Chains A and B, each alone.
Chain A
Amino acid sequence: MRTPLPIARILRVKALLLPVFAAALLAGLAWGSGGGGPGALWRSIAGLPLEDPVLADIFWKIRLPRVLLAALTGAVLSLGGLVFQALLRNPLAEPYILGISGGAAIGAILGILAGLPRFPWGSLAAFAGAMGTVGLLALFSSWRTGLGKDALLLSGVMINAFCGAVILFLISVTSDVRLFNILSWLMGDLSLAAMEQVALLAAVTAVSAAALFFLSHGMNLILLGRDTALSLGVRLEALTWALLAVTSLMVGVSVSLCGLLGFVGLVMPHLMRLLFGPDHRVLVPACVLGGGAYMIFCDLLARILPRQGEMPVGVVTALIGAPAFIFLLRRAAR
């Protein structure tokens, strides 16, 4: 057996996934409730006149931001799952596991109840909530000696459960139209995408993905267990906090812009690991491209499946994600 050197493996994975990503991007632009199709999209890209001039606006002003936001969110959530699965050495870990989702939801719901406009104030409230739980988490884990993986996991899960109770309370005391806004946020919503949001998330994603790539070999070493990692010269505390900080930040931004999209961060890292092996230097770029493509695909389904209107994309990711995860677990166990 020959192990190709990592650079070669990274390039090979990129060469495999880039066409998939590009295809998803084009499909996401071409289809949707406003019509279009690949032919019209091609004419629009090539600068040829369209039968229906409104289509150009649909392609580039409505669908493009939405498709890009989906791709970025998919990338962020997949990366988040990848990091937390390594950090907590738990295959069930996902980007929301430590309470980022719960905190963000409380922030978002309070924003909606206060009647704040969704962007930027509602997003800021959600982001503040997400960071609030991360802060609590840091506080709780500093009470313990060291940073045991289970101490972190248990504190996070409990913070999330408490947030869940607060969310239910807030919902139970809301009865007007704001209830619909709350539920659509909780189910994940990409329909209000605008270019400012895309630009913000793109910047955060680019920086975070680059940082995670540089920490990716550290994630490989974390998988060997605390003692072995330390004895191989890993500065475990620093690495753990760096991974937590980067991931919380990018997931917090993503959640605050798009709401809660479940299962993406659970399914994609497992799928990529099954396809490309456990090396995080390969998995980081694979999750960016694969997660992005997958979310575009889910959003496309959410837009074209219902006869009228659209489904929340979070419903699609969960409907596909749960069975897919069980299937992946069976495959990985073999």
Chain B
Amino acid sequence: MNPAAIAVQEVSFAYEEAAVLEGISFRVEEGDYFVIIGPNGSGKTTLLKLLCGLLKPRAGTIRLFGAPLSRRRRKALARLAALVPQAASAEAPFRVEEFVLLGRAPHQGLLGLETPEDLAIAREAMAFTGTAHLASRRLDRLSGGERQRVLIARAVCQRPRILLLDEPTAYLDLAHQAQIMDLMEALRAERGVTVVLVSHDVNLAAMYASRMLLLAAGRILAAGPPGEVIAKGPLEAAYGCPLAVETTPGGVPRVSLVPNGRRPAGRPPPGVREVRP
């Protein structure tokens, strides 16, 4: 059996004293479209940072393609896994092409002197993400959707085997959300890149993911194909509110909040005390 793209074994992590992840184990196979969901503060972003070596686990091991992450040098790691952080600060007045070219850094020497080949790879990454026409625009002048695609172009230009994204669809409208998710699918299908992304949008995730992971309070509540993870039991346990799960005609599970109006009469929502005059 090939080694998994990512193998996480009994990993725990804490900031100062507050435990964030407790004994997490899972595998991401090469070519997976892997989506991590979970409520705010469940440890999703921390997990992503652990996967690319930004944080070091307190306990447990993370292996990328069979080799322990802790043994890889930072630059070698950067050639293997790229990160598109959450709401990446892109305030520097770089032009889009200059910015995307910075993705070549892990493949270059100290001065980062670009070769014509680096430039070709950057152009190709921009073409792939549909940002070639933005090349000479300033990064801080782009719209939200354009900027997110440019941030992804920078990571694609890094030519990683694993791409990690933290809420890449946050603050985007429906069409732009689908555009980003389609782009990840193309990256996976055409280039064999393993995609791991954190999302708050459970339904969008269910439409695209090959496998999902549901985190809550630093533990895994469910893992597997969307059909198994998007289930009433684990989701209600994770989010702590009443949910309805149905299956769309396309066979994709859909979650929706149960509106207060549909609650049986006379029963208050959980956690709310009835007030009697």
Seen from chain A, the residues whose Cβ lies within 8 Å of a Cβ on chain B are 1, 3, 5-7, 89, 145, 213-218, 220-221, 223-225, 227-228, 230-235, 273, 277-279, 281, 332
CA distance A228 to B101 in the complex (A): 14
List A contacts of B113 (CB < 8 A): 5-7
List B contacts of A278 (CB < 8 A): 92-94, 98
Smallest CB gap from A222: residue in B: B92
B54 beta carbon closer than 8 Å to chain A: yes
Closest Cβ–Cβ distance, residue B106 to chain A (whole Å): 4
* Cβ-defined contact, B54 with A230, below 8 A: yes
* Cβ-defined contact, A279 with B105, below 8 A: no
List A contacts of B77 (CB < 8 A): 233
* Cβ-defined contact, A233 with B106, below 8 A: yes
List A contacts of B82 (CB < 8 A): 231
CA distance A215 to B111 in the complex (A): 7
Smallest CB gap from B83: residue in A: A231
* Number of A-B residue pairs with CB-CB distance less than 8 Å in the complex they form: 96
Chain B residues numbered 112-144 whose CB sits less than 8 Å from any CB in chain A: 112-116, 119, 135-136
Interface residues on B, range: 35 or more
CA distance A215 to B154 in the complex (A): 21
B74 beta carbon closer than 8 Å to chain A: yes
CA distance A281 to B95 in the complex (A): 15
List A contacts of B110 (CB < 8 A): 214-215, 217-218
Given A228-B83, A231-B85, 8 more A-B residue pairs with CB atoms under 8 Å apart are A1-B97, A1-B135, A5-B115, A214-B110, A224-B102, A227-B85, A230-B54, A233-B76
B49 beta carbon closer than 8 Å to chain A: yes
Chain B residues numbered 71-86 whose CB sits less than 8 Å from any CB in chain A: 74-79, 81-83, 85
Partner of A223, one of B85, B94, B119: B94
* Cβ-defined contact, B98 with A3, below 8 A: yes
* Cβ-defined contact, B98 with A234, below 8 A: no
Closest Cβ–Cβ distance, residue B133 to chain A (whole Å): 10
Partner of A225, one of B53, B88, B111: B88
Partner of A332, one of B52, B79, B93, B94: B93
B158 beta carbon closer than 8 Å to chain A: yes
* Cβ-defined contact, A214 with B103, below 8 A: no
B89 beta carbon closer than 8 Å to chain A: yes
Query: Given A217-B110, A234-B105, A225 and B74 touching (CB < 8 A)?
Result: no
Partner of A233, one of B74, B85, B92, B119: B74
* Cβ-defined contact, B85 with A6, below 8 A: no
CA distance A166 to B77 in the complex (A): 48
* Cβ-defined contact, B83 with A227, below 8 A: yes
Across the A-B interface, give the 7 residue pairs with the lowest CB-CB distance, nearest first: A233-B78, A233-B75, A217-B112, A231-B83, A223-B92, A233-B106, A1-B136
* Cβ-defined contact, B114 with A232, below 8 A: no
List B contacts of A277 (CB < 8 A): 93, 95, 98
Q: Which of A227, A232, A279, A281 has the most CB of B within 10 A?
A: A232
CA distance A332 to B113 in the complex (A): 26
CA distance A273 to B92 in the complex (A): 11
CA distance A223 to B89 in the complex (A): 9
List B contacts of A7 (CB < 8 A): 113
CA distance A322 to B166 in the complex (A): 41
CA distance A230 to B85 in the complex (A): 11
CA distance A1 to B133 in the complex (A): 10
* Cβ-defined contact, B49 with A227, below 8 A: yes
* Cβ-defined contact, B111 with A281, below 8 A: yes
* Cβ-defined contact, A224 with B92, below 8 A: yes
Closest Cβ–Cβ distance, residue B20 to chain A (whole Å): 14
CA distance A11 to B81 in the complex (A): 35
Smallest CB gap from B108: residue in A: A217
Closest Cβ–Cβ distance, residue B118 to chain A (whole Å): 9
CA distance A325 to B243 in the complex (A): 56
List B contacts of A215 (CB < 8 A): 110
Smallest CB gap from A235: residue in B: B74
CA distance A231 to B162 in the complex (A): 12
Query: Given A220-B102, A231-B54, A214 and B111 touching (CB < 8 A)?
Result: yes
Smallest CB gap from A86: residue in B: B92
CA distance A193 to B52 in the complex (A): 53
Closest Cβ–Cβ distance, residue B217 to chain A (whole Å): 23
CA distance A278 to B103 in the complex (A): 16
Closest Cβ–Cβ distance, residue A238 to chain B (whole Å): 10
Smallest CB gap from B119: residue in A: A3
* Cβ-defined contact, B114 with A6, below 8 A: yes
